[in-house]
Amino acid sequence: MKIKTLLSLLLFVCAAAILPAQDLPKREFRGAWIQAVNGQFKGMPAEKMKQTLTSQLDVLQKAGINAIIFQVRVEGDALYASKYEPWSRYLTGVQGQAPAPQWDPLAFMVDECHKRGMELHAWINPYRAKTKGTTVLAGNHPVKLYPNRFIEYDGQLYFDPGYPENRAYICKIVKDIVERYDVDAIHMDDYFYPYPAKGKEIRDDVSFAQYGTGYANRADWRRNNVNQLIQDLHRTIRETKPWVKFGISPFGIYRNQKSDPKGSKTNGLQNYDDLYADIILWVDNGWVDYTIPQIYWEIGHPAADYQELVQWWAQHAGNRPLFIGQDVMRTVQKPDLQNPNIHQQARKMQLQRAQPAIEGSCQWYAAAVVDNVGNYREALSRHYHRYPALQPLFPFMDKKAPKKVRKLKPVWMEDGYILCWTAPKARHEMDRAIQYVVYRFAKGEKRNLDDPSKIVTITRDTFYKLPYEDGKTTYYYVVTALDHLQNESKAAKKKVKL
């Protein structure tokens, strides 16, 4: 019996490694969320946390992950040196207590991600101000400073979205992050108005009486409050650093078809009706730069089928880059509908990549990928992320490529060849080269830069150590420059004998 169980498990977890090869995209968002809210870092000594994070990043890099979404604001607090809000209890164990020795997790993660060619997206929760487990608030917490601007709901505290002062405050927090840190994006998840709790009502009568003039329907007023925040945040980020993206990962259902004929064939909680989050409006108006709907259910789920939702979002949210939020644990716990000996990772990836409007995915959560549950990470590194990928393009933000690299040449050192180059000149920050792509081609081989299998590295360095062989084999190395938004320059090339 044990042998039979082990054999079944082996088939279940290894099947992804023997799937037929797919055409792999040269550009794809391959993200992973690193959360703090579950307490994984709470009270952890600084060096231990740094080791944990760098170890995770090393493994994720090998798995082909090219963007990290790192939680830095859980409940009106900070996992960074904020000018305005207290240190998070999810970092030190006590809200308002600075880490000792002093260090800045966000600054650390920006540096470590960029070293590995990854983007860093700073993840904030805009409205949540106190979770159920928080019993003591620091003296400089916004609830202490502005107590009349918050609502209590189901044991938690929230910034009341109805107050314009709260919108201005949240924009101030985001502006501070964008100004002082070299983040690639600001990211918000699915928490807007609180998730409904049975028998509970959102007590926003005071703000509605003050600011709800002209709205007969309070639901429309609430949606407009969130709409205004999204619009204001987008404007704030653009005015501060126009290359920094603004992304949102909403709950996986926009509206059910029974509520709206244009909705999905689902039967679950709805962004529009329950969280007052009109995601599609934000996409269509260009108030967000990317969207990652959290489609965490399995293929065949009776109320929220993965296949139905992937197709729905692809059809309705493609006016801005669209990625899919994947739940690693749920994926490996559910068998494939055609082959119960394997889990659903392969089929989910197939469905996702079959949609031209979908340009990548994000894994919930990073530690599950690192732990290789269900052989999930191995399937990424060996198959789905076999070759490096550049980020998708954001032409509505910037479509001008940097100039090509200068003075490309191999330099012989004691331990072999180093390929060196000089960064191209740039008139503006938007045109500055941030990273470089190095390709390698054999002699006589067509130099196709759309083939990701020819990418040997994506780096921020202006050099690359070449693998020396016998000094008789000719290769052509091609180097291109990438700007903040990964527009790619023309190629510089050099013939080298290795």
What's the pLDDT tens digit per position in 49-89? 999 999 999 999 999 999 999 999 999 999 999 999 999 99
Using left for φ > 0, alpha for ψ between -120 and 50, and beta otherwise, residue 81 falls in: beta
Span 182-232, pLDDT tens digits: 999 999 999 999 999 999 999 999 999 999 999 999 999 999 999 999 999
What local confidence, expressed as pLDDT, does residue 207 receive? Answer: 99
What phi and psi, each to the nearest 5 degrees, are found at residue 288? Answer: -125, 150
Closest listed residue to residue 249, CA positions, set 195, 162, 334, 326? 326
Question: What averages of pLDDT result for each successive group of 10 residues across the chain (498 residues)?
Answer: 40 43 86 96 97 99 99 99 98 98 98 98 98 96 98 98 99 99 98 97 98 97 99 99 99 99 98 99 99 99 99 98 99 97 98 98 98 98 98 98 98 90 97 98 96 98 92 95 99 95
Ordered by start, the domain boundaries in the chain are: 2-384, 406-497
CATH of domain 406-497: 2.60.40.10
C-beta contacts of 95-98 below 8 A and 24+ residues apart: 95/134, 95/136, 95/137, 95/138, 95/141, 96/138, 96/139, 96/140, 96/141
**Residue 413, pLDDT score:** 87
Token pair of 132 as six digits: 């159920």
pTM value? Answer: 0.95
pLDDT of 27 reads: 99
How do strand 463-465 and strand 416-422 relate by DSSP bridges? antiparallel
Q: How far apart are CA 180 and CA 67, in angstroms?
A: 20
Q: What pLDDT is recorded for position 22?
A: 44
Q: Which helix (H) or strand (E) holds 135?
A: none
Q: What pLDDT does 16 receive?
A: 43
Burial class (CB in 10 A: 0-12, 13-18, 19+), 216: exposed
Rg for the chain (alpha carbons), in Å? Answer: 24
Residue 84 near residue 176 (C-beta atoms within 8 A): yes
CATH code reported for the domain at 2-384: 3.20.20.80
Beta bridge partners of 158: 128, 151
pLDDT value at residue 21? 36
Strand partners, 168: none
pLDDT at position 13, please? 45
**pLDDT score for 4:** 37
